[in-house]
Each structure stands twice: as C-alpha cells, then as structure tokens.
Amino acid sequence: MSKSIVSVVKYEKPLESVRKVVELTKLFDDLPKEVKIFIKPNIVYWSSGPHPKWGVITTSRVMEDVVTLLKEKGIDDITIGEGFGSNEAAQDAFKKLGYNDLKERFGVKLINTGDRPHEKIDMGCEFLVNFASDALKADYIISLPVLKTHSQAVVSLGMKNLKGFINIASRKKFHSADPIKTLHFNVAKLPNNIPPVLTLIDGIYTLERGPSMDGKAHRTNLLIASKDILSADIVGAKALGIEPSDVPHLVQAAKDRDRSTSLSDIEIVGEKIEAVASHHDWEFIYNEAGDLPLPFYRRQFKGLKYKRYDTTMCTYCSAINGLLLVLLKNAWNGETFGGIEFLTGKIMEPSSGMNKTILVGQCQYNKNKDHPNIKELVPIRGCPPSMEDIKDAFEICGIKVNPLMFQGGGTDMGGVIFLQKYKGKSEFEESFYKLK
C-alpha cells in the first residue's frame, strides 16, 4: 500500500505558507474547474461580546488563503458553511470574521447548515445520521479545523470538525450512554459515505484543554494538510504531543480501515514532526475522588460536589457546563456551599448525603428525577437548559452570582474573564480573524 502524504509547514507569511502546505501534498491538484467545493471551518460558538478566538476558531487568514488558491485554479462553485444554532449567530459570525468580504470579492456562498435541509445517511453508527444536504451535494469537502485538544474527544481535528455537519438530534445521539458505541466510536464514522474530504489543519494558534474559550491558547504557527483525513489527524495529534494510540476515535478509525495509528504508512513532507511538536494537555484535572475540579479542591471549596464530565454530555450541555464552573468559581466567598451536588450527562447518579442535587439538562433530569438518594431536587431542565433556569437554580441553592454573568447567554462576561489571560501578549492578534 502506498503511503499517505501529510505536509507540515511553519506558518510565516499570508498566502505563501498556505500555498506551500497545499502544494507539498498536492491537495488541490486533482480538482477540475467545474468542481463543487464545500469548506467547513471550525466555529465552535459565537457571541456578540468579546471573547478569545485564538485556538478556538479557524483563522480568517487561512480561510482567505484557501479560497484564493481555489480561485487561482479557476474554481467558482465554493461554499463556506458551519452548523450554527441560529441564523442570527451565523450572520454575526460571517460579518465579524470577514466572510462577507470573501462573498463580495470571490462570489463564495455562505450558509448556516443548521438551518438547511439534512439527509439521513448510513455512516456505520447504530443509527442513521442527519447530515447536511449541501455538503453531500459537493464534489469535495475541505475540512478546515483548528489544531486543538478536546476535553471529551482528546483532539478535535479533521474528523471531529465534520460533526458540525450533523443536526442537533444526531449530535445528541453521538454522545451515547452505550459503553461501546460511545462518542469516540461515532466520531470515527464521520468521514464515511460522504464526498471526499481534503483536510488542512490551522495551527497558527493551538489550544490546550479545548475546544472552547476556557482553554489555553498558544501561538504555534503550524499548518498540516493531507488528502487522507485519518493521516492528517494522526499527524495533528502528534503535533499536539499526544500519541494517536491514546485518541480513541483515531484508534477506531484506523481499525475500520485496517490501519495503524503509527506513522509507518504515512510520509511526512516539510517540517519534521518531532521538531515542531509541543505537548498540549487535553483534560481538565479533577481530585482523586473525581467529584471536584482540582483548582476548586486546592482552594478548599467546601460543601460542593461537581462530578467529572464524561462523553455522554452533549455539545449543548458542555457549553453550559463551562459556564456553571465559572459561576461557581466567581460565587465562592470562602464559606461552605452547604452540600450541593451537580450532575451532568446521561449516566451519572446522585450521591447520598447531599442536601441539594442539581440535575443539569433534560437527559440527567429524566434519568434521576425520582432517585432515592436525592433529598432536594433542583432541576435545570431543557435541551439545552435556559439561562433563566440556571439563574433560578442558583438562587434556590443560595449561590449568589453577579447578574452580569448571565448576559449574552453567559458567554459575554465569560469571554471578558477569559480574555484577561492574553492581555498584553502581542502574539495574540485579532488581525488573524479580520480580512480588512
């Protein structure tokens, strides 16, 4: 079997660096002029307020360069799309990331796949997956993820980026409570029965403990590309200092293809991976009991249990999970929380002896609302829960939170808080996310 080619290039100059990583792997060589291209960036979330984008969102710099190279080949049918929760969010993102400028200059189409038709396809999961019809109609998909770690999936690269093409119902099913057909199993199936995927990983900024703004970004200046999505992700994991054999969905994807997660059947061109790799932590560390984040434990938060998240917690509750931890961190005044336990996902069960048990999300509520260990139930129902329900739950538990923390769906104030860690660091430039 011939080896898959993966190019690794240091980012140095606009267009020139992306051109180099594309040419080394001949990524666009087989594309005829009449081809239909769908480009999928990684836009994890969008908020009208300020927040760190570095290592979280695909840079507009790389997006513009990819579109420019496609146009140089005479390709006109180019669509850029992401699965947003609302068209308002999509339009805000396209405007602020400069995609509207690409539409004006190059005639690219911009769509929110979350508000467009989906088709049921067999990807090898235990269920038919609702996948974006617009992407299925393309001749090629270009997956343009960020080089980042992920607190559930270990890494979020070319394969994981495709999850944005599936609708909300399928995304929830991906976070299965089945001990075998887990999130990892399902993510490995994402490249199946869809158009060919070309992968270019944007590592100008990388992210530890991703995928969102509470992670830690680094200026890494790396680009990774391949016609083979598994090979690109294997090299991407290595660049993050993580062994591909420690990434369950890569192990599953390799098994499905009768391959290894080693570099034995991959030819890396450009930079040597060992010369550019740097270790990135992926998981948030908890105490030995697994019922309190380590920073909370070290600060001696009393009367609180917040069990370690698992892969059954879906995307929407994951975003709320981060907000809840920020709220608790900012609410603590050195006194006891009074015996409160938070539960998330689909498999956690209440501990005995707690005074109040907060069930986060509809899945957790449905599972444990009648559990005998619960002394006082405080539900945060909904799929996903609303900010109003979260606010009510905190008030019931006597946890005092600054009302400003709930503005903008909780991300506005959270964004301001997380931006502080990058203040005064010149390597973190907003210009990479603007085109004018």
Identify the pLDDT of residue 316. Answer: 84
Classified as helix, coil or strand, 109 is strand
* Strand-pair partners of 218: 206
| Mean pLDDT across 252-269 | 97
Q: Please give the pLDDT value at position 225.
A: 99
Q: Each residue of 227-253: pLDDT tens digit?
A: 999 999 999 999 999 999 999 999 999
pLDDT at 49 over 70: yes
Q: What is the DSSP string of 270-311?
A: ES-HHHH------S--B-TTSSSBHHHHHTT--SEEEPPP-T
Tell me, what's the pLDDT at 105?
97
Question: Rounded mean pLDDT of 150-177?
Answer: 97
Q: Which of 151, 279, 147, 297 is nearest to 210 (CA)?
A: 151
Is it the case that residue 221 has pLDDT exceeding 80? Answer: yes
In this prediction the pTM is: 0.96
Express each pLDDT in 285-333 by its tens digit.
999 999 999 999 999 999 999 999 999 999 889 888 988 998 999 899 9
Reported as a single tens digit per residue, the pLDDT across 2-38 is: 899 999 999 999 999 999 999 999 999 999 999 999 9
Instruction: Please give the pLDDT value at position 414.
Output: 76
The reported pLDDT for the residue numbered 50 is: 83
User: What pLDDT score was predicted for residue 406?
Assistant: 72
What's the pLDDT band for 44 if we cut at 50, 70, 90?
A: confident
Give the containing element (helix H, strand E) for 208.
strand 197-208
Q: Tokens 């269920």 identify what position?
A: 127
- Give strand pairing partners of 119: 131
Residues 249, 338: Cα–Cα separation, whole Å = 40
The answer to whether 114 and 83 are in contact (CB under 8 A) is yes
Task: Determine the Cα–Cα distance for residues 436 and 432; give it in Å rounded to an integer.
Answer: 10
Nearest Cα neighbor of 198 from 222, 238, 168, 226 is 226
**What residues contact 435, with CB distance under 8 A and at least 6 apart?**
60, 64, 97, 98, 101, 102
CATH class of 4-282: alpha beta
Phi-psi label, residue 158: left if phi above 0, alpha if psi -120 to 50, beta otherwise: alpha
What pLDDT sits at residue 411? 66
Residue 409 banded pLDDT, cuts 50, 70, 90: low
pLDDT given at position 408: 64
Q: What does the alpha-carbon distance between residue 199 and residue 224 come to, in Å, rounded to a whole number?
A: 8
In which band, very low, low, confident or very high, does the pLDDT at 410 lie, cut at 50, 70 and 90?
Answer: low
Q: List the chain domain ranges.
A: 4-282, 294-421
Phi, psi angles (nearest 5°) of residue 8 = -130, 120
pLDDT tens-digit readout, 372-407? 999 999 999 998 898 899 999 999 999 998 777 776
What is the maximum alpha-carbon separation in the chain? 68
Q: Give percent above pLDDT 70 in the chain.
A: 97
